[in-house]
Structure 1
Amino acid sequence: MLIYKILRADEWAALQSSGETAGAPIDVSDGFVHFSTAEQVRETAAKHFAGADGLLLLAFDANALGEALKWEVSRGGALFPHLYAPLRLADVLWHKVLPFENGAHEFPDDL
């Protein structure tokens, strides 16, 4: 199963530079890296990245993240994937620009 992480351009650059990161400021604050499923990621973008341009959408294989990935109740009682380990560049399956057009983020058609 694929899960997704949205990063700002500077966060993506830092991940590319160092090979791993504790995540965005909210991830560091909460003590885990927030992910979303395909069904959740659009709402995540609207709620936490409203109006933001220059975002990247990263895809990860949930199974490959191992036991450090926990499914926990979050927004609306839904289970969300949370990674209790650094986010590693080596685990990124693909990344795509997440443009902001006409008041909303444009997600890939195959998501």
Structure 2
Amino acid sequence: MNTIVYKIVPRALWQQARQTGVFEGAPVDLQDGFIHFSTASQCRETARRHFAGMDDLLLVAIDGDAFGEALKFEPSRGGDLFPHLYAWLPMDAVLWERSLPVGDDGLHIFPEEVA
């Protein structure tokens, strides 16, 4: 199926996960009981709403097919279906990670891989 989902995460938090080999979630994920992801078409709005002006972020691409039924697409913002992971994220499911800098206009600059 080739499902790719994305996580926007502070670099320091991600580095901690890299050391342990698993990402257990950001504070909001731990609070909600699942790891919040976005699809490619949802990433920019997620960054605008939840990470406005924040620097030193990473965009992490994840193989959504690695999780089976633990990855659920559930209604959220405006009824749009967002990917939620009801498990921890092992580093071997990560496809790539890229810096997510803030541009002069205050919006994040996304890598070419995310159309």
- Counterpart CA distance in 2 for 1:9 and 1:62 is 21
Counterpart in 2 of 1:104? 107
Instruction: Deviation per CA, 1:47-73: give whole Å up to 9, x if none.
Output: 110000000000012112211101100
- Counterpart CA distance in 2 for 1:12 and 1:86 is 13
The one-letter amino acid paired with 1:70 is K
5+ residue gaps, structure 1 = none
Picking from 92, 95, 101, the partner of 1:93 is: 95
Secondary structure at the aligned position of 1:13 is classed as helix
Tell me the percent identity. Answer: 54
What is the root-mean-square deviation in Å for CA atoms of aligned residues? 0.8
5+ residue gaps, structure 2 = none
Secondary structure at the aligned position of 1:100 is classed as coil
Alignment: residue pair count = 111
List structure 1 segments (4+ residues) > 4 angstroms apart after TM superposition: none
* TM-score w.r.t. length of structure 1: 0.96
